[in-house]
Amino acid sequence: MDTPQHAGLGGALDYVAAGPLEPGQLVRVPLGRRTVTGIVWSPGAAASAVLDTALRPVAEAVADLASLPPTWLQLVEFAAGYYQRGLGELALAVLPPELRKLTALQIDKRVARLVKASTRHDGPAMGDVAGGPGAAGPNPPALTPEQAAAVDALSADARPALLFGATGSGKTEVYLRAAQRALDAGRQVLVLVPEINLTPQLEARFAERFPRHRLVSLHSALTPAQRLKNWLLAHLGQADLVLGTRLAVFTPLARPGLIVVDEEHDPSFKQQEGARYSARDLAVYRAHIERIPVVLGSATPSLESWQRCIEGRYRRLDMPQRIGGGAMPAVRLLDMNQQPKERGQNAPALAAPLLRAIEQRIERGEQSLLLLNRRGYAPVLHCGACAWKSQCPHCSAWRVFHKLDRTLRCHHCGFTERVPRACPDCGNLDIAPIGRGTEKLEEQLAALLPGARVARIDADTTRLKGTLDAQLAAVHAGEVDVLVGTQMVTKGHDFRRITLVAAVNPDGALFASDFRAAERLFSLLLQAAGRAGRDAEAAERSEMWLQTWHPQHALYAALRRNDFAAFATQQLAERQAAGLPPFVHLALLRAEARTPQAAAAFLRDAAQTATDLPDAPHVMVYPPVPPPVARVADVERMQMLVESGSRVALQRFLAAWLPQLNAMRGAHKGVLRWAVDVDPLGI
């Protein structure tokens, strides 16, 4: 009898049970002095195991909750193997936290209550799903030819589909039609979105279209009780539509029929701690084992997905036209080399021509969106007399100056202090901010555009629940003339009155060391451009402006032509030449210690032990290097890149290597933590 497990333990543990158990059944088992929740993995193992008197008995089995389906077990097993985590650790980490706290009896009671509640009110909750036109909400629009072709193609091919559709091309309508089909067939639909912020609008559209179907959402902002309830409704097959962030990819479904991954290129689909899984990639694997269609949608697909289309593993469905014939805004490159040079802190953030373009919008009653991907007032404070800078004492990073509450804040560890009146080192009273963040841009705009209504949306202005919605509503209601924001405003929002989008300082990413920086920048700028001209009539005069010192750059040339394909082709050629993903497969071994020497020593020893592994000839292990921000909260971090041309060889290599690393722990007491990150996003 194998039952995993408990965080921190590797494989399945053995228990004996009085009665028969089935795979996927939840049990409560003793572990040490506690009783913990476990999942029956493979019951009825060798008879000798059952006779082993050392085995402890299962304390109680959850009787009324249907067992987790075999495909769920398979998904979790795959994810644990692929991302190199303990099976039990991963299995329990992806269950609703509340489920692990309850006793078997409490779980059974909750289930009974849910079942009773849903039999009381009518509707499709118990699986008698209403089909046909009656199930749909008010007046779905007639599909455009492009949409119709995409919807048809979805049911004609078993391969994963990449829906490559311009912003505003009606991708959501394609998801809705595909969902309609699955619901008509009595199946459940799982929709994944990158961010909680994006769930309400999508939820509203699905709820409006399918008023008679039960929709639940799953994300980390739900209360534990809500999350358990929604999870149970999905698992029991009572919810027809499940909409959620990356963690929702592990939702057990009684009768799965379709998986949608919206904005599939978004880095948020990659979990960045614990089991570092990619929900997008797991969604594709899950669809494969469930034998159901999966749609990945984006206007700027990840180069991984794009390459899979080229290889024929995914099928590409193109929707280049925006609904209503609106064009993408014309892209204008504002060559900063040609502008009069003004230096220093009071140099305006916007060159004169851009400022005039904004003024023009204000006169016409239209809105402008200014993108600056850096929050706070200034990224660093500086003393001109002694060269003191606002270094974080706990991190290898500057503390950001936030003017509104006069603080210096570290965006890595959160360490916050009042801004000093004078330089802490030399007493000079004249310490000045260097550079510019959204807060300063907002302040400058208010001064440059007297009478204009300037608003700002970033992580600082939206910290309180509900503030983002309120701010967006103000923009929609036309109460804002100029909106300043970070990338947060570029995602998904359907602004009708914006006819000017400007990137204030986009060049940084052109020369960043991260090989994905260009891909992210292109995506960010195209998504931002997509916020303008959503209205066909306004599209005519919509523009995107880029303030750049490098107007000749190939990335901007492709953006200007709205040519993602050309950009992707060029990037993929570069990646192939440089031996980078998706042409090679990467993993990072990360180590954290009190000193960089201790972390590096661990990694060097790790590299040494790797040389004897059978797959070592197919794998390249690079020397340890510090990540861009090496010290965070007084912990030093180092990492080591592992690369292979073969995904399978890399997997085998890592699986054989990890136990050796575990065995090294005793010799490296200074190492606080280490972890392997498969398919890392940043290197």
Using CB under 6 A, list all residues that contact ligand ADP: 141-144, 147, 165, 167-173, 323
Regarding 509 and contact with Zn ion (CB under 5 A), the answer is no
Q: Which is nearer to Zn ion, 262 or 636 (CB)?
A: 636
Report which DSSP code applies to 477. Answer: T
Pairing between β-strand 294-298 and β-strand 215-218 as defined by DSSP bridges? unpaired
The two structure tokens encoding residue 156: 């004609």
Residue 412 host element (H or E): none
Least distance from Zn ion to the Cβ atom of residue 374, Å: 17
170 binds, among Zn ion, ligand ADP, none (CB under 5 to 8 A by kind): ligand ADP
Distance CA 162, CA 114 (A): 37
Binding map of Zn ion across residues 397-416, x = CB under 5 A, - = no contact: -------------x-xx-x-
Regarding 488 and contact with Zn ion (CB under 5 A), the answer is no
Least distance from ligand ADP to the Cβ atom of residue 324, Å: 7
Q: Which is nearer to ligand ADP, 166 or 610 (CB)?
A: 166
Least distance from ligand ADP to the Cβ atom of residue 211, Å: 17
Least distance from ligand ADP to the Cβ atom of residue 322, Å: 8
385 binds, among ligand ADP, Zn ion, none (CB under 5 to 8 A by kind): Zn ion
Judged by phi (left if over 0) then psi (alpha if -120 to 50, else beta), residue 132 lies in left
Distance CA 493, CA 202 (A): 11
Q: Which is nearer to Zn ion, 423 or 650 (CB)?
A: 423
- Candidate ranges 122-130, 233-241, 383-391, 659-667; the one touching Zn ion (CB under 5 A): 383-391
Query: What number of CA atoms fall less than 13 Å from residue 236's CA on the CB side?
Result: 27
Regarding 428 and contact with Zn ion (CB under 5 A), the answer is yes
Pick from 18, 37, 140: nearest CA to 95: 37
Q: Which is nearer to ligand ADP, 441 or 472 (CB)?
A: 472
Distance CA 91, CA 38 (A): 9
Least distance from Zn ion to the Cβ atom of residue 547, Å: 30
Q: Which is nearer to Zn ion, 1 or 383 (CB)?
A: 383
Distance CA 612, CA 623 (A): 17
Instruction: Read off the amino acid at residue 659.
Output: P
Regarding 153 and contact with Zn ion (CB under 5 A), the answer is no
392 binds, among ligand ADP, Zn ion, none (CB under 5 to 8 A by kind): Zn ion
Instruction: Read off the amino acid at residue 49.
Output: A
Peptide bond into 5 cis (omega under 30): yes
425 binds, among ligand ADP, Zn ion, none (CB under 5 to 8 A by kind): Zn ion
Q: Which is nearer to Zn ion, 236 or 423 (CB)?
A: 423
Burial (CB count <10 Å: 0-12, 13-18, 19+), residue 219? middle
Residues 176 and 209 sit within 8 Å (Cβ to Cβ): yes
Least distance from Zn ion to the Cβ atom of residue 391, Å: 9
Q: Which is nearer to ligand ADP, 82 or 495 (CB)?
A: 495
The two structure tokens encoding residue 511: 């020369």
Residues 650 and 613 sit within 8 Å (Cβ to Cβ): no
323 binds, among ligand ADP, Zn ion, none (CB under 5 to 8 A by kind): ligand ADP
428 binds, among ligand ADP, Zn ion, none (CB under 5 to 8 A by kind): Zn ion
Least distance from ligand ADP to the Cβ atom of residue 529, Å: 12
Q: 169 vs 74, 327, 500, 553, 617, CA distance in Å?
A: 36, 10, 19, 28, 48
168 binds, among Zn ion, ligand ADP, none (CB under 5 to 8 A by kind): ligand ADP
Backbone angles phi, psi at 312, to 5 degrees: 80, 5
Q: Which is nearer to Zn ion, 181 or 412 (CB)?
A: 412
Distance CA 376, CA 402 (A): 5
Least distance from Zn ion to the Cβ atom of residue 419, Å: 14
Torsion sign across C-alpha atoms 76, 82, 88, 94: negative
212 binds, among ligand ADP, Zn ion, none (CB under 5 to 8 A by kind): none
Residues 263 and 298 sit within 8 Å (Cβ to Cβ): yes
Q: Interface residues with Zn ion (CB under 5 A)?
A: 383, 385-386, 388, 392, 394-395, 410, 412-413, 415, 423, 425-426, 428
